[in-house]
Amino acid sequence: MSEETEPQGDDPVGPGLDRSRVDDSVYQPFQPGPMVWGIDKDGLPSPKLEGALPHAPPLLPENFVCIADTREFVIRDRWGDVVGRFGPEMVQRSGGGAYFVTLEEAIARGVPWVEVARRLDWRRRRVRVEPLRPQCRFLAQQMTDFQDETDHVMLERLCTARRDDERFFVGLRDTELYACELREPRDFLTEARIERFNDTKIKLGRERKESAGEGAFDVDKALDEAETTAREGLTANSIFSDRR
């Protein structure tokens, strides 16, 4: 039997060695309440299901920016600009997980020699490349079996840059993540979605403020009035006034 443990530093409070399994993220949210019954067309009682069951969103590089976008591989210069592009069919992977193309392919694609030399393995004549969008280093993925269902597996995805109220990593299962400024390395192409969203909200906010007219709250005017009032009060009544 496990006992509740005291938190140590950033460690979450929870059971000891027999704490939650990875697949508890699937089972724990299912907390069925009392079954609602109704009368069917045939006059017999039948369970009444409210609404439709949700479907998990499709996993795509476009709607889940945590994963790598391997539809294209690139070489970037020191400024982050792409100086070489390669299709997946041209790319191989080393035993250590690094992506590479042959030296001949890199030269044929017109990659500047200084960038080739920075990534070149002379002995094997190969040049290191990277996915168009590398995987975020804060994404942690674990593949495990289901409890009592050894013929099936599940993949748990976690964001290790964030924690929930119980100090556990935030789960990303069945989640669409369109843009994230916590990504490392950052992806400015998808971050542009955040900028567009904010620009739209700012435009709508200005329209609301203009339509409100004189009734709208002016923070700068309010601060000016407060400073004036405080200044006059100090001059007239305060021990800090200039009167001797």
Q: Domain boundaries in the chain?
A: 12-29+58-67+135-216, 69-133
Place 137 in a pLDDT band, splitting at 50, 70 and 90: very high
Instruction: Identify the CA nearest to 106 among candidates 132, 89, 125, 79.
Output: 125
pLDDT tens column, 113-122: 999 999 999 9
Give the Cα separation of 7 and 87 in Å (integer): 49
Instruction: Read off the DSSP letter of residue 64.
Output: B
Average pLDDT over residues 74-80: 95
Full-prediction pTM beyond 0.85? no
pLDDT tens column, 27-67: 555 555 666 777 778 778 777 766 555 678 899 999 999 99
Check residue 21 and give its pLDDT.
Answer: 62
Could you count the other beta carbons within 10 Å of the beta carbon of residue 105? 17
Token representation of residue 126: 């190969």
Instruction: Identify the CA nearest to 155 among candidates 18, 66, 19, 25.
Output: 25
